[in-house]
């Protein structure tokens, strides 16, 4: 069963016509105790079917421990967006709603191998001395998600030792209940 309607599929096909290099969507899933895993895997496969530049690899989170460790995935459902190298881009939860645009932008950026950052910003990021791990938690009505995820991805692109993750709160309810979170950010 298709996750995307035909109008969205056609628009995504057009978006992907400009992909430069191949991108691998590495999906982590399991069949039990994962409410949104099946939907996440279906979405990744459907998106990948819209361009010959995209491939999908699916790993069982409980059984494929080597892949889990290699990618540093610690929750499911998860999608790693990987190109020529692993930039550390992770989506936890199903990247749908407002976050779908962020997911598509991540695929395009990884394909191009470019962060979109200005030279000044790249220079400033070279000054980071310690590893950091920024996490963006996206809630259903959060219209700031595409902007924030794009900013977050580009900002960390230059520092390969930084982790970057996007979380869809709807898909990770248990984590959200057990974690203190801050309100949506404001643009600086």
- 113-137 pLDDT, tens per residue? 887 778 898 888 788 888 766 666 6
Distances in Å between the Cα of 102 and the Cα atoms of 57, 77, 120, 123, 162 are 20, 17, 24, 25, 19
Q: Does residue 130 contact residue 162 with C-beta atoms inside 8 Å?
A: no
Residue 78 has pLDDT above 60, yes or no: yes
**Residue 33, pLDDT score:** 86
**Token pair recorded at residue 111:** 């394909």
**Cα–Cα distance, 162 to 130 (Å, whole number):** 9
Residue range 93-97: mean pLDDT, rounded: 86
Residue 171 has pLDDT above 70, yes or no: no
Structural domains in the chain, sorted by start: 6-172 (3.40.30.80)
Radius of gyration of the chain (CA): 16
Q: With bands split at pLDDT 50, 70 and 90, how would you rate the model's confidence at 14?
A: very high
- Across the chain, what does the average pLDDT equal? 78
pTM recorded for the entire structure = 0.75
Distances in Å between the Cα of 128 and the Cα atoms of 65, 91, 157, 187 are 31, 24, 12, 22
The DSSP 8-state label assigned to residue 177 in this structure reads H
Q: With bands split at pLDDT 50, 70 and 90, how would you rate the model's confidence at 161?
A: very low
**Residue 151, pLDDT score:** 44
**Residue 115, pLDDT score:** 74
**Token pair recorded at residue 102:** 């962020």
User: Hey, is 130 helix, strand or coil?
Assistant: coil
């Amino acid at each position: 069963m298709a996750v995307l309607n035909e109008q969205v599929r056609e628009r995504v096909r057009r978006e992907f016509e400009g992909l430069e290099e191949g991108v691998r969507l590495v999906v982590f899933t399991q069949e039990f105790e994962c409410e949104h895993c099946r939907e996440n895997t279906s979405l990744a496969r459907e998106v990948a079917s819209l361009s010959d530049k995209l491939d999908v690899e699916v790993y069982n989170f409980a059984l494929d421990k080597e892949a889990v460790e290699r990618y540093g995935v610690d929750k499911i459902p998860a999608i790693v967006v990987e190109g020529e190298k692993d930039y550390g881009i992770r989506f936890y939860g199903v990247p749908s709603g407002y976050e779908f645009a962020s997911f598509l932008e991540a695929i395009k950026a990884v394909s191009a191998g470019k962060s979109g950052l200005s030279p000044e910003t790249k220079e400033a990021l070279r000054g980071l001395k310690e590893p950091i791990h920024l996490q963006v938690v996206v809630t259903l009505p959060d219209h700031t998600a595409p902007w924030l995820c794009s900013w977050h991805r580009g900002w960390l692109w230059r520092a390969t030792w930084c982790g970057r993750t996007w979380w869809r709160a709807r898909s990770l309810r248990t984590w959200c209940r057990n974690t203190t979170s801050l309100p949506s950010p404001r643009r600086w």
